[in-house]
Amino acid sequence: MNFDEVYYEPDILNYELGKQLREQFKHLKWNEIESHNKIEQLQKSSNSDFVKLKRHLIIGTRKTHKYVPNFKISDFLVPYTSSGCSAMCLYCYLVCNYNKCSYLRLFVNREFMLDKIIKHTQKNKDEFVYEIGSNSDLILENTITGNLEWTIKNFANSPKGKLTFPTKFHQVDSLLDIDHNKKIIFRMSVNPNDIIKRIEIGTSSLDNRIEAINKMVDADYPTGILIAPIILVENWKSLYSELITTLSDKLSVKAKNTISIKIIFMTYSNIHRYINNDAFPTLPQLYDKELMRGRARGKYGYKDEIRFEAEEFLKQEINQKLANAKIIYIC
Ligand code: SF4
C-alpha cells in the first residue's frame, strides 16, 4: 500500500499500536484531526477524487461498539480494528456507508474491543460467532498493523465463542503457525480472474487466493469459500464455469473435502453509480437495467428470474466439479 498522508487523532499516541504506526509511517506528512468521522477537507472532495482519497491513512480510536445481530453467517456483526479499505472494488459495500470517504481507518484501541468480545461470549449461554470483518478487509489491514496475529493469539484461549472474517487478500503466512484452537473461521472470497482484474481493483489474484485457502486449510483453520459477489457480466456463464473448474483443479484434496461454499449476488446502488461514473469513467458499468431491479434506499439487485437461472447454473457447476463441497448459503 502506497499511502501519501496520515490523518490522526492525537490520542492515538497514548496507545502501543498508535506509537508503532507513528514510527512505521514517520516518512509521511501527519495531519492532526479532531475525529476520524469528520474530516471536513476530505468530505468536501469531489467524487473524481475517490482514488486520491484512497491513498490516505486515517488513524483514530473506535468510540462506538454496538453489536448488530446477524442471522446469516455469524450471530453478531462487531465493530473491530478498522473500517474502510485501500482497495477499490467497484461494488464495495463500504461505499454505501462511507461514500467517497471509504479510505482505510485504523483504530488503535484493540485491547478494549477484544476484551469486550470476550466478555460478551461469557455473558451468554450460546456459542456465538462474531463477524469482525464486516467493515474492512482484515488480512489487508494485518499487513500494516499485525492486528490479526495479535487477535488470534489473544482469543485462542477464550472459553467460548468464535471469530470470523472474509477477505480478498492472500497474505496469510504470518497466521499459519499461530495456535488458533480452531476458534477463527477464515472465509476467502473468490471471483473469476477477469472480474478480479477489471472490477476488484487492488485485490489479490485468484491463484494467490486459492493458495491462501490451501495454506489455511493445512493449518487447520475452519475455512469457507464465498463465491461473491456474483456479477452477471455479459459472459458470466463461461467466466463462472471456468472459476469453478479452476477451484476444482487447484484446491488441495483436503480443502475440497472440507470447505463450505456460500454464494452471494451483487448488490449495487446509486452511490456506486455516481462515484464510479466520475472516478472510473472507463471501467465497466455494473448497473444493467435489463437485469436489475430497484430495491429500497437506492439499491439494486438482480431480478428474481435472472438470479434463479444463475443460482441453478452455479449449483449444477459446483455439484459436478466440487462434489464434496457443501453449499450452505445463497443470497
Ligand atoms: S477488498 Fe472488500 S473492503 Fe476492500 S474495497 Fe474490496 S470489497 Fe471493499
**Confidence (pLDDT) at 328:** 82
pLDDT in tens, 18-43: 999 999 999 999 999 999 999 999 99
The predicted pLDDT at position 64 comes to 87
| pLDDT recorded at residue 72 | 80
What is the average pLDDT value for the chain, to the nearest integer? 96
* Predicted local confidence at residue 168, as pLDDT: 98
Segments forming the whole domain that contains residue 124 = 5-330
CATH number for 94: 3.80.30.30
Interstrand relation of 200-201 and 223-230 (parallel, antiparallel or unpaired): unpaired
Backbone angles phi, psi at 14, to 5 degrees: -90, 0
Band (pLDDT 50/70/90 cuts) for residue 171 is very high
State yes or no: pLDDT of 124 exceeds 90: no
Query: So what's the pLDDT on residue 223?
Result: 97
pLDDT at residue 329 greater than cutoff 90: no
CA 150 to ligand 1 centroid distance, Å: 22
Answer whether 137 contacts ligand 1 (Cβ < 6 A). Answer: yes
Confidence at 330, pLDDT banded by 50, 70, 90: confident
| Substitution candidate for ligand 1 out of 55, 85, 104, 269 with most atoms within 8 A of CB | 85
Sorted by sequence, the CB contacts under 8 Å of residue 189 that are 6+ apart come out as 166, 167, 168, 209, 225, 226, 227, 228
Radius of gyration of the chain (CA): 20
What are 199-223's pLDDT values in tens digits?
999 999 999 999 999 999 999 999 9
Predicted confidence at residue 101, as pLDDT, reads: 96
C-beta separation of 234 from 123 below 8 A: no
Closest atom, ligand 1, to C-alpha of 87: 5
Q: What does the alpha-carbon distance between residue 242 and residue 227 come to, in Å, rounded to a whole number?
A: 13
Cα–Cα distances in angstroms (integers) from residue 311 to residues 13, 167, 211, in the given order: 50, 23, 26
How many domains would you assign to the chain? 1
Band the pLDDT of 46: cuts 50, 70, 90: very high
Q: How much is the pLDDT for 254?
A: 97
Above 80 in pLDDT, residue 1?
no
Q: What is the pLDDT of residue 228?
A: 97
Give the tens place of pLDDT for each residue, 269-279. Answer: 999 999 999 99
Percent of the chain with pLDDT over 90: 94
**Span 110-127, average pLDDT:** 94
68 band by pLDDT with thresholds 50, 70 and 90: very high
Residue 94 Cβ inside 6 Å of ligand 1? The answer reads yes
DSSP label at residue 267: -
pLDDT at site 88: 97
Q: Is any ligand 1 atom within 6 A of the Cβ of residue 92?
A: yes
Residue identifier of the C-alpha nearest atom 8 of ligand 1: 92
pLDDT of residue 65: 87
- pLDDT, residue 265, reads 97
